[in-house]
Structure 1
Amino acid sequence: MTKVVLVTGANSGIGLALCERLLSHDSEGLQLCLACRNMQRAQAARSALLASHPGAQVALLQMDTSSVSSVVAAAQEVKLRYNRLDYLYLNAGIMPNPQFDLTAFFKGLFSSRVIAMFATGEGILTQKDGVTADGLQEVFTTNLFGHFLLIRELEPILCCDGRCSQVIWTSSSNAHRSTFTVEDMQHQGGTQPYSSSKYASDLFSLALNTHYNDKGLYSSVTCPGFVMTSLTYGILPSFPAFLWTLLMPIFWLIRILTNTFTLTPYNGAEALFWLFKQKPESLDPRAKYHSLTSGLGNNYTQPRKMDIDSETSEALYQKLLQLEGEVRRRLKEKQRDSKLVHSSAGLS
């Protein structure tokens, strides 16, 4: 039976690498949908995939996870196209305006925590968050809440016909408990919204399993490791290209010491691809599945227990449901006001 797979943030980096690996595995047995914000880049990604797999079924979907109306509209389109969804890869994410602490970086270079610093960015990265048109924190909405709404909207085709469906998140080793509180789940009062949003994703994945496993929906979390993508390069936007070139041999040397330096999007997609081939009911809902690469370049996946608990997970889930209600009410009010404006314009 053909499997329907939707991937958010699929036009580059790890998302695009995953799509390539999925099609290489079974190009004829998949209906692949690339959900992207930038349709020009999405079209280029689709063309690249079809060049390698001419007979593949690759569709495009415009969706911006930072916009409530965009997510709702995209979900409606998905339900019109497909009567079921087997895999939902939640890969879209941002780390806007990263601030790099050079002093902390150079101190870390000559300390015992150098590998952990490179692998997680802990202690050297902060971000300046923005606010969306819906009045929500941008990182929280893009990385978590937009995906939460998407799952809620797609529930009828994720939980149907007695089949198992999988939701698979791209999380991060930068997901730290210390950056997150349920009381400030949008991270309005902090400087590490990316870490907070990724930790919240880990918590929400556990809540999904608690509430939806009996309906056939399973959720898993992955970590791609340290990968050179546009998000990584964006950490130092003014960094000259030749300095990145000089750093790469250092990164390759570090990979001999740690398996978390996957470096390439292909390697970083290892756990995402590995989960595609597993029986979801056999997976550990409290594990984060890490993409790892040995010093010799061999890729493998390893589960590691997440620093999460059921109580905080459930509290976050209830807060997300509450926020969903508020956001949907505001969206209906906007739509109603828009209709009134158009009606008045028509009368005049």
Structure 2
Amino acid sequence: MINSRALYGFPFSGIGLALCERLLSRGSRSLRLCLACRNMRRAEAARSVLLTSHPAAQVDLLHMDTSSVSSVMRAAQEFRRRHDRLDYLYLNAGIMPNPQLNVTAFFKGLFSSKIITMFSTGVGILTQKDGVTSDSLSEVFATNLFGHFLLIRELEPLLCRAGQTSQLIWTSSSNAHRSAFNLEDIQHEGGTQPYSSSKYASDLLSLALNTHYNKQGLYSSVICPGFVMTNLTYNILPSFPAFLWTLLMPVFFLIRIIANTFTLTPQNGTEALFWLFKQKPESLDPYAKYHSLASGLVNSYTQPRKMDIDLETSEFLYERLLQLESEVRQKLTEQPKDAHRHPAGSE
């Protein structure tokens, strides 16, 4: 691995798989992918698809569930055992469990000037019912944010090596809103928008990581894929008949003429992820979220937009995450080792 690049991410399907396809299409012989996945059957399927189109590709698999502290710890330990460097860490795992649709607000939005904002952000029409993990953490917070934070901390020796520049790339969302986030309740236990809260927290954390790690050669960036038709999108309306999604697609393409956030396809949604792969990370703006956008002519491009974040809030969040990390590590040392053989959600 000394002369090769290790790329670590969470590609099951959709945007993740499309990103891997684009990266391998660059033709770089030194590129090595490591797909960290919760569902290993889907991981094997993704690997098979990639090797079918790129037979010479180096694609490794790693079992990891970001909602489980012990799973993240084991996965990081296994990665360190296999590899001696890590250049790009794509932080793409995310869930939006039990989305609840405000039907009245939805149909009102269809016939109003807010239709574009409604579809691209879910503002005003979506709430979620969160769960609790086996580590007694809020499920969305653990999966979308804290598991990633622990992974970064565990892989710090590989990410912060002398003479090496490494990059963290977070998949955020246009649904990341300051109004959904509360420093006094970072796990969003008292709210109904845990997804929005977790994505806004990832925006804040990215800024804090740049503050603490840039001098060690580690840089963090945030992207937004736009409105992409993936399993996560379909699950927002689980009872919505498939044929209605099909009927809506022409409408979505028409909306894209005036709303470039409607990227719609996974390929277009990866534009900012792929663009960042080609940039010098030290030249990027830590306060910018890099958006994948698409024109009406299906030309995709990347555009930076300032995030609604500030350094003081990001530092508070970072300190609270460090404190929580210390607490969960202490709990792990106090529990029997065999209690962590089957993390919640593993398959």
Fold shared, TM-score > 0.5 on shorter chain: yes
Q: Report the secondary structure of 2:303's partner residue.
A: strand
Determine the C-alpha separation between the residues in 1 that align with 2:16 and 2:62: 14
Alignment partner of 1:310 is 2:283:
no
Decide whether the 8 Å contact of 1:206 with 1:313 is kept in 2: yes
State the match for 1:297 in structure 2.
Answer: 298
2:44 paired residue number: 43
* Residue ranges of structure 2 left out of the alignment (5+ in a row): 341-347
Equivalent residue number for residue 207 of structure 2: 206
Q: Report the count of equivalent residues.
A: 338
Measured after TM superposition, the shift of residue 29 of structure 1 is 2.1
Structure 2 partner of 1:143: 144
Secondary structure of 1:117's aligned partner? helix
Q: What displacement does 1:88 show? A: 0.1
Supply the distance in 1 between the matched residues of 2:55 and 2:154 (Cα, whole angstroms).
32
Q: Give, in whole Å, the separation in 2 of the partners of 1:299 and 1:248.
A: 18
Query: Could you tell me how far 1:336 is from its partner in structure 2?
Result: 5.8
Contact 2:162 2:216 in 1 (8 A): no
- The one-letter amino acid of 2:33's match is L
* 1:1-348 aligned within 5 A: 1-8=3-10, 10-335=11-336
C-alpha RMSD of matched pairs (Å):
1.1
**Contact 1:72–1:150, Cα closer than 8 Å, also in 2:** yes
| Structure 2 CA distance for aligned equivalents of residues 335 and 17 of structure 1 | 40
Query: For the Cα contact (< 8 Å) 2:180–2:193, is it kept in 1?
Result: yes
Amino acid at match of 1:7: G
Q: Which runs of 4+ in 1 moved over 6 A?
A: none
Structure 1 unmatched ranges of 5 or more: 340-348
For the residues of structure 2 that align with 1:208 and 1:161, how far apart are their CA atoms? Answer: 18
Amino acid at match of 1:265: P
Instruction: Give distance in 2, aligned partners of 1:97 and 1:175.
Output: 18
DSSP-derived class of the 1:26 partner: coil
Equivalent-residue separation in structure 1 for 2:338 and 2:233 (angstroms): 41
CA distance in 2, matches of 1:337, 1:106: 51
CA distance in 2, matches of 1:42, 1:2: 22
Instruction: Name the aligned partner's letter for residue 297 of structure 1.
Output: V
CA distance in 1, matches of 2:173, 2:113: 21
Q: Say whether the 8 Å CA contact 2:140–2:195 is kept in structure 1.
A: yes
RCO higher in structure (CA 8 A, sep ≥6): 2
Q: Partners in 2 of 1:44 and 1:110 — Cα distance?
A: 41
Contact 1:27 1:55 in 2 (8 A): no
* Aligned-residue offset at 1:27: 4.5
Task: Specify the code of the residue in structure 1 equivalent to 2:188.
Answer: H
| CA distance, structure 2, for counterparts of residue 333 and residue 326 of structure 1 | 11
Deviation at 1:111, TM superposition (A): 1.9
**Residues 6, 85 of structure 1: 8 Å contact kept:** yes
The separation in 2 between residues aligned to 1:162 and 1:212, in whole angstroms, is: 14
